Amino acid sequence: MGASHQTRFWHRLDDGRVECDVCPRACRLHEGQRGFCFVRAREGGEVVLTTYGRSSGFCVDPIEKKPLDHFLPGTSVLSFGTAGCNLGCKFCQNWDISKSREIDTLADAASPEALAEAAVRLGCRSVAFTYNDPVIFLEYATDVADACRARGIKAVAVTAGYVSPGARQELFAHMDAANVDLKAFTEPFYRNTCAGHLQPVLETLEYLVHETDVWVEITTLLIPGLNDGDAELDELTSWVGERLGPAVPLHFTAFHPDWKLRDRPHTPATTLRRAREIGLANRLRYVYTGNVHDREGQSTYCHACGALLIERDWYELGAWSLTDGRCASCGEPCAGVFEERPGTWGARRLPVRLAGA
């Protein structure tokens, strides 16, 4: 695979093994073994990252695709990922990358500096660690973030938030925004469908919102019959309102059958709208539907006067009624990171190669 890179966040055990401290999985490794994520491995008695400087591909996307609706709307973001994942979601929508065991997936080489220069050259306002979770390639993600920030490019983490406290602090100290998956609101779902646990994800969300300046939005992929019941959605949205506050945007997105979960149907648009209604009834200010056309459910409204602030249809922006991040009608601030005008990238998706970078 790629070049092995030294890491922190591991310790030696009395029985001769080493334990990785990056995520709650706490893999215990003998020499030559790889962790569950497959990209952190024991070499020469230490835990190394085997995918440093390698990527599974690059693409210029609308920032709304991450999804981030309150972070520099309308601008483009240079997206990339590596390989592997520290969760085992049966419904993974990027399984070719997350479950990759092949060097072919990491065809593109890119130093942090080359990546930052590419982002500038391509006119991107930010770079996003996405496709797979930056938690597992933390050293590479933070070096890329630093190189980007030095050139005025923001850093965005798209993550499941399944990370231990020390690594969590290190990763997010280098980020400007994050979209965190809250995959469901029950422990059995996390255990049986994702091979993980719910509590560390809730802790990551509370940490981000209350102890950092990172702009945070949440995504819940609704899977028919598994995490879309009224009671669960009521509990989830109540928790977000009470523990994180009403201004954290929440995206309910549609599932399509994939990977090991092909016996479930696509999520109907009515389910997404129902989830949004439950969130709004629990006084969340910004609840969105995703992966469907739904102008009403994807637009941003002023929580004080109800005026339309940002019109959206999927990734396409329409009317814009924000002045200095405030409602142009009543002056109430809208939570987020806004500029005077929205970007003009639109819904385009542009794959790019950084050959020789």
Residues that bind ligand SF4 (CB under 6 A): 20, 22-23, 25-27, 35-37, 40, 86, 136
Distance set, CA 191 to CA 183, 186, 197, 302 (Å): 11, 9, 6, 38
Nearer to ligand SF4, 195 or 261 (CB): 195
Nearer to ligand SF4, 27 or 160 (CB): 27
- Residue 32: CB atoms within 10 Å: 8
Nearest approach, Cβ of residue 172 and ligand SF4 (Å): 16
Nearest approach, Cβ of residue 210 and ligand SF4 (Å): 24
- Residue 169: CB atoms within 10 Å: 13
Nearer to ligand SF4, 86 or 267 (CB): 86
Nearest approach, Cβ of residue 161 and ligand SF4 (Å): 13
Nearest approach, Cβ of residue 85 and ligand SF4 (Å): 8
Nearest approach, Cβ of residue 38 and ligand SF4 (Å): 8
CA-wise closest residue to 135 among 19, 23, 20? 23
Element housing 216 (H / E): strand 215-222
- Residue 270: CB atoms within 10 Å: 8
Q: Which residues pair with 344 in a beta bridge?
A: none
Nearer to ligand SF4, 44 or 225 (CB): 44
Nearest approach, Cβ of residue 134 and ligand SF4 (Å): 11
Q: Rounded CA gap, 165 and 24, in Å? A: 9
Nearer to ligand SF4, 33 or 323 (CB): 33
CB 316 within 8 A of CB 293: no
Nearer to ligand SF4, 21 or 294 (CB): 21
Nearer to ligand SF4, 136 or 287 (CB): 136
CB 29 within 8 A of CB 37: no
Residues 6+ apart with CB under 8 A from 229: none
Nearer to ligand SF4, 74 or 134 (CB): 134
Place of tokens 């009395």: 14
CB 295 within 8 A of CB 313: yes
Return the residue nearest ligand SF4 (CB atom): 35
Neighbour-count burial of 333, counting CB atoms closer than 10 A to its CB (0-12 exposed, 13-18 middle, 19+ buried): middle
Nearest approach, Cβ of residue 92 and ligand SF4 (Å): 15
Q: Rounded CA gap, 45 and 310, in Å? A: 53
Nearest approach, Cβ of residue 338 and ligand SF4 (Å): 35
Distance set, CA 81 to CA 66, 196, 257, 269 (Å): 13, 21, 22, 29
